[in-house]
Structure 1
Amino acid sequence: MSKIPRRPPDKTEPYHTRPSSPSTTNDVDITEVRDNFGSQERLVPPKQDSNPVFSQHVADTNVTKINWWERLLLTRDLWSPTWNIYLFCIIGIGFAIGHHAFYASLEGKIVHGDDQLIMLRYGTALAFAAKASFVASVMSAFREQIWATMRSKLLAIATLDDMFAAHETPFSLMNVEFLTNAKLWHFWLFMAGLSPLIVILTTNTLLVKPREEIQLTRCPSVRTLNFSQEAEHQWRAGEKVNGLYQFSLSLWNTTSVNTSDPNFLDYWAGPSDQGSEVFQAGTVFKRPFTNLEDTFTVCEKGWNCTIEIRFIGSGYKCQELGRGVGAKARRLHQESGEADAPFYYDPFKVLAPTGNFTWIADTGLGDYVIPQLNDTWPGGIPKMDPPFPKHLGAFRTEPVIVDSTIPALLEPNKTASFNPKAWNPVLIACEHYEVDYTAELRYIDGVQLHRIKDRKFLTPIVNTTFNRGVEANDDTMDNTTAVPESNYILPKDQKRYRRTAAYHAIGAFLRSMMNGTIYQPGSIANSHVLQTDLIDHKMYNPYSNIAARLERYYDTLLLSLLGNPRFVVNVWAAEPSIQTGTNNGSEYRYDCTRSRPATAYYYRARNLVLVHGVAAFFAILGVAAGTKALQRNGGISRNNRFSSLLAATRNESLNWVKWDGPQTDRGYISKDLMRQKLGYGLLKRREGNCSGSRESEVAALQYGFGFQGEVDQTPAVRSRRTFVTDEADG
């Protein structure tokens, strides 16, 4: 066998007698060292401990009865090397789960400012904590494998160096003997070196994506319509809000300047110019007229707002009376009765393709007549003496819009002079109703785009049926008759009359725009309907969905009233009894939904769970392998602290090995010595005299490193006392 470099005996060596040796060199056989110095008993007086203080300490601690408090898992036991294997693995799994839960809680939330960077830092900290815990668990298990390997195999000192330094010196993994005798743990160390990937790969799992930020809040200065304000409006008083006169939709005549006159009453004189102005603006814009100054008052700049309001207004309810070439017109069904189409001719014979008309609208039958009296003073005051006519100023019926149109179904054949299949005549009738509206006020990118979201038709504004051809002859200029007469709305019913007048004013403007004809060829229009969005200007034909478009046109007129806050019907949505005027209603806040483009957290859960899952899987396998190594060690866990390693080198034969090397101060030893094999186990001791007359090897409870033949590597058994004191037999 190879010689082990030995240092010469020192005359000043404490506790030992210098042995005599015939050798004149420093290189001696390990057998000679073991024979001469292997037994400590021959260096001390018989029956006397080499260290009486330590012997007394052992005697004091060698108790036969274990107290109950010693059986508890004390703090030092929880922090013991054995528990660290499992504790750090559990902590690592906890951090991984916490990382997932933290990112999952952010999923879909809006990113504000630099929050993403902060959240990423928190996530990185959790990933690092998980990584550190897994590595600590695996390294603790690796420690058990080191001792298990040294307990079962003799390895070169260089290999032992690499095993102890493997976690800090990657080149240690290149040791062939290390790889051969500890393949599994060679792999675990390699995986531990890749552990920073846990932090790197999980960084890209919390991203952001475009999203609309939506807030349910309350917006200021939200207006709505309340036509009951028209019923309460006193036009004589010149009512002002914020120093400005309020506008009514109606103009008024009166029978007397003396309001206390028993024959006094106000009656409708026509629509107001202010109302016609906003209606005309809405018609030209093809959308509701709006007040631009209110845009950022209601909806903060940078946001888009949607507000839902409800109000009672007026609108036209349409029904189809006939469709197709040669069709027969059906009768109009009303709540108050049935009526024939108001034409003295068959409309389907004059509409294309049979005739030349593409639009015929009769909207004035039964309309309120202005003036009501032939001879009046300024202001509509009758020159006649009272009593005045019974039906003076009465709303007898609301004109039914009867519209004959020719929607274009397809492009006419350019190669043919005429294509009759391209036309489909339709006859519709629309009746004026009181309607329950749900409107949606939209403020988008600084533009107001309002629309009616839903409508529910309630009752006809004037629930009568026009009696065509029957004259009233009631001393007024209005010869309209309708049934039942009891449903006439008279000026004496002031509140209802004034609200009806406001509805009538809106309907009057719409009817004035639709009334008339369009004649082909040449698209000769005797109507203002070309100004509306009821006509397709490509061919100057009505759209096919004319009934729905007529209802939407009425919506446009109605919502245009919100564009001028000085109308008396404009009130705060939060307080419908208060007229708004031009006031800033910051104190009147109403429910709204506001939104804006934003970015939201997007969590790629699959990637993070996969990374942490793989890390946890390998950590658990490492823990299982460490547990197996601990079992091979007899349940004994030994740490790698300096005191532990120092105690493991108490084999006296190691004291006579020449540890000097080329760079002793740096801890290097000779290459020859690095190739020598050491193992760890139960040290073998000899009892007997120097001559060796009686030799017997007995096991003593002394563990340490030794050369071949000096250690018994039979697996140790952990004693009961170890679990209490955390002292290993080795």
Structure 2
Amino acid sequence: MDQPNKVKVIFSNSDSSTEGTALTPDLDTSLESDNASHCRRKDYQWSVHWYLPFMMTLLYISGVCFAIGHHLYYQSMEGENVDKSEWPIRFGIALAFLTQRCFVGATQGAYKQYTWCTLQKTSLRISTIDALFVGSTNPIGTLNLEFLKKATSQFLLAAACWLLPLAAITTPSSLTAMAISGSKPCKNVSTIYFLKDGDFNDDGTNVKGKENLRRVYYWDIIDNNTTTNRETYAMPTYEFGNLIDLALKSTNGPLAGPNPCGPKTVNCAYTIQFDGPAYTCEDKADFDGSTNQTLDMFPPRGEHVYSASPIVNYNHRLDKLGRPVQWANLTTKDPMYGVFTREYPIWLGYSFETTRPHKGPNNTLWPYELEHNIIKCTLNYARYEVTLGFMDGKQVVYNTKVDAKGPLLPEGQQMEPSNKEYAEYAAYHTLGFRFHQYIQNGIQKYNSSTRTRSDSRIGETTLVNRKSGMSVPRQFENKFYELVLSLLSRSEYRVTMTDYPCTLETGIQVWHYQPFWLLLPYGIAAGVALLAVGTGVYAFGKVGYGMDTGFSTILAVTRGNKELDDLMAGYSLGCAPLPKGIMKTRLKFGEVVDDQEYQKGNGGERKAGFGTEGKVRDIRVGERYH
């Protein structure tokens, strides 16, 4: 028969050592005696392991970070349109849950450590100790008078664990959806601004504050051999030429400017005012003879269904750059160079078919009568008052009020470069010239069924019916207004006003964040958790090492105590509840003394654990316990 394995075991303490032999069953022989000795009887080193305080601190810092993240997320939602309302609320609830769980976790870490501080300084009934071990998670367990009386600090820490989750109730509701209406300041409302003579330095550069603005025309600087030079109109800028093409071809009104109502809060309206040029048109019975236009040009005698007086290189008017043709014959030293002597009106004639049968000549070509309209349009100084806004991200012009102040250049007057209004006049002249240049000349139609022919660019605009090719009556003024308003689309032609009155339409749902109802509960929770962490740090220092309330800790502190074995005889199954007599037994955690060993004079074996009053002494920091 095989002999049982013999394992040499050495027990040691600070005073003595004993050596013996133990019989073990057939185990793996790799479990040598040194390893067994190390695992079973390792002296405890007095120090706080990094894990417990690190986790307690990490949880607290994580809670603070989640709280700050919650605040920043809700802050970013302020004023945003409510598109999918469920997701911001879900994110908020998730952040609130993580925040309170981190704060509760840090507080529970402090609670567990302070539990052992309490158990070392006072003896408590087993029923109270039960309550201590579950107090941070089971509030009913703390309904114990002795708990409240002898473990007040524990009770407060437990209460913190129960109440901290309340922070997750109020904080998600700090972000709400609300309907906004009424008037409030809008940021970055833009209006149109034409540079004036006072906006330039002597070298032609813009004055401070208007550096980003640009003219719609180029200019020449003429050396007068004096202290001041003379600036004269040269031609429209290429950038403005591109804008003209886009604006006059637009089928959706004026080109949109920047949205001042926010990136998503788009349903709003506001009114801007500015000075600018405007054409005013009046009906005439016939042309005045200053152009090559006559009533005979129109059906049924003629073929023109639209005619606009030419402006470029006609009858010694303007060249293709918008300058009076007389300038070409002058030197820059001539005092008349750069002087405007006349602003030419636009003479418009157009025809459209009626539903009345035509009984006159050429009725085979034109079966229905045509009506003819003659209009004279004059360029004026004007004051604009425009109500516009944004709806669903698109610009809408609600109302345009134009108050004409008088002709841009009255008959018999002239505009000289030395005039303080020259720069403003040149800008207005540029807009009028480019508009006139676009719609000049005519559209011909041989009869009612043939296609139109055109030598005018007006067909590229919405002023012409795309189906019939006939001009749309009385839209010339409005089309020029759209051109002027399109200047808002370019930053070089607009100025920005801050805190401008803006009316927001009723029914727009936007997110509204009330930081008070998030920062207050989180501030209280963070403060309470910080006090709890401080209490935990104090407990680490008081006890001298880190402890937990898990099974492994309970196993370590209850082993080998014959007194407890006798007390719990017959209850090793752990059935609950235990008899009241047992539950009323008072225990304390400390140094359990073996009286027989003390009587031998060697002090006995020092061991920490639970014991009844009189059977345990206070833990002595720095001593070795086995």
- TM-score for both structures, normalised by structure 1: 0.43
- Structure number with larger C-alpha Rg: 1
Q: TM-score, normalised by structure 2?
A: 0.50
